[in-house]
Chains A and B, each alone.
Chain A
Amino acid sequence: MERGVHDRGGLPTDEPIDRSEHTLEDWEVLTDALVGALARRGVMNVDELRRGIESMPPEEYVRASYYERWLFSMESILTEKGVLAAGELDRRAAG
């Protein structure tokens, strides 16, 4: 049965569950707030966010942190919608 990289139920794994606590970094809270604000504005809904995350190349998905996936998805979906120009976020992030 083919599955997307996000579809993890039942996948065999030797990776231990790291139970340590992690306080969210400021940028993670910001990323979360951006998604929420975009949803309330009707610009991008949470299903589109998920689709964007699921479109990540599998090796990137596995390697990325949780909110890095959200950033990837926002850039992907917002570029698809023409809110961002292709490469625009890269250029701005590079300063």
Chain B
Amino acid sequence: MSEHDHDHTPITNGDEPAAAVRARALEELLVEKGVLRPEEIRAGIDWLVSRTPADGARLVARAWVDPEFKRRLLADARSAALELGLDPGPSPVVVALANTETVHHMIVCTLCSCYPRALLGPPPAWYKSLPYRSRAVSDPRGVLAEFGLEIGDDVELRVVDSTADIRYLVIPRRPPGTDELSEERLAALVTRDSMIGVAQPAEPALA
């Protein structure tokens, strides 16, 4: 274990990945040089860790119970999010894509990992992985089968590759047998994966 240098050298132990040491070293340099202030970095960390799919789920649940809201959501998801007091994130345009009886959407970013993080939280590792990025556009039904989702041949499958500044999220179909559920209970059924399009929402637990 290296001696702690009070000037700048971080304590490292042999178990820490080199990338962790490098990230902290970069942070130190940028702060020392006055490029960034610690509080800016802190604010970014706080923002990222505060992001969860619960925000996206609220949009979906509201759309399920309120057809007028759904119409506004489909027209401009960014504004609809703001309407609910949610942070739609830095992207200038967010588009919500509604699944129907005959259309199912699935989102990918083949070039990197573009994802509506403000509303869904950080993307899952598999979304950023090379095989998902390759196969989502060339074998989407195979990918969905791996996720345990089968889409009927009569359902139009639309794979959306987020290549620009627009962020997409899927509005999954409301599960059957949920007419009696409150909006809050409905939101609890809306999973992250259903808003990416590789899964359906959870079914309500049978009493």
Contact = CB atoms under 8 A, between A and B. Distances in A.
Interface residues of B, number: 55
Chain A interface category by residue count? 35 or more
Contacts of A30: 23-24, 27, 41, 45
A7 B125 contact: no
A28 B113 CA distance: 15
Interface in A1-41: 6-13, 15-22, 24-34, 36-38, 40-41
Contact of A41 (B26, B35, B134, B146): B35
A33 B42 CA distance: 8
Interface in B24-69: 24-30, 33, 35-36, 40-45, 47-49
B143 interface: yes
B12 to A, nearest CB: 7
Interface of B: 2, 5, 8-10, 12, 17-30, 33, 35-36, 40-45, 47-49, 110-113, 122, 124-126, 128-138, 143, 146-147, 161
Given A27-B23, A30-B27, 11 more contacts: A17-B126, A18-B125, A20-B126, A29-B45, A33-B41, A34-B27, A34-B30, A34-B44, A67-B19, A71-B22, A95-B10
